Amino acid sequence: MISDHSQLAEAARNLVINEQFASVSLLQRHLRIGYAHAQRLMGILEGAGVVTAPSPGGFRGLTPAFQEGHPNFRDWAMSEYAGCDGGDPLAKTWLLGFEHGESAAEGSGRQIEDDGYPIARQRTYRYNRQVFKLLVAIEGGDVNDWLSFAERKRPFVKGASGYFKGNLYPYPCPEDAAWSDAAQSETGFASKERYRAWCRNHRFPIVEEWIARASPDLVIATGITRRHDFLSVAFQREFVRMEEHRVDVPGRSRRFFSASHNGRLLVVLPHLSGSPLFAANATLQAAGAQIAALRRAVPVRRQAPDTGCARAVGGV
């Protein structure tokens, strides 16, 4: 129990628990108090074991005792590359999905053995087939050569280099709004909204760390309604302006978004298996050419000043 029994301290406690998020600005907005007062309340919550001490970046979280979800699920969701499909984590091209879908060949609910994510399995996913076409186009090839490209480059296959495929949210949900009894039982979250709120506040910073470590120069994300989530993790919450683009091919015009900062390009496309117009071959060919042009236009990443100390040799 919080030692300060004031109504405001209790309101702050209830607020951070209900929101599954802790920040001084949250307290300021909802309790209509000043910064100094909110800071004092946050200190009270930390002393009571409700919130963590601030990280080096100044972020706080709820302590495990006050987080929703099963502890085992939370631990797994924040573990190294949990919920990602595979490939080379240090690759210079990353593909970020929103959450797992499923292959028509696999069917709903079937557990898939970790077999290294071979091309033979990937090609059963319409999403992956469309991604292969886009990657071919980005490299200047013909989308109709997607299968030979996939077999040669082996994108996202365990042990292969050059590409990595991850997801913002780790739990597989074939339908965007669905949250089944099984999902509740396995995760410990009563609703998908509560699950996503927890992920935004606790998993997203982990994904940010993965991207910062890999330092990819191209991040391709799918799902334009979630573009601000992708923007946040791609640039470690720095303010970066996003631009809208149009892919114009005969009979159709489709939009996508991009942002760049410090040598990294983020492009956010419509979901490639849920947008029939964008998934057409002509659209993917044109989109790939535009992305390649955007990539060439990104300024070279800023290098850290050379202090004369020895350091590992590697690409940036």
Q: Which residues touch 124 (CB under 8 Å, ≥6 apart)?
A: 103, 104, 105, 106
Q: Measure the CA–CA gap between 153 and 149, rounded to whole angstroms.
A: 6
Q: What is the pLDDT of residues 186-232, one digit of tens each?
A: 999 988 988 988 898 889 999 999 999 999 999 999 999 999 999 99
Q: Are 124 and 106 in contact (CB under 8 A)?
A: yes
Task: Give the span between the Cα atoms of 158 and 149, in whole angstroms.
Answer: 17
Identity of the residue numbered 130:
Q
pLDDT digits (tens, 9 = 90+) for 68-126: 899 999 999 999 999 999 999 999 999 999 887 654 444 433 344 467 899 999 999 99
User: What domains can be seen in the chain, in order of their start residue?
Assistant: 7-66 (1.10.10.10), 73-297 (3.40.470)
Beta bridge partners of 110: none
Characterize the bridge pairing of strands 264-269 and 252-261. antiparallel
Per-residue pLDDT at 279: 80
Over residues 161-177, the pLDDT tens digits come to 999 999 999 998 766 67
pTM for this prediction: 0.81
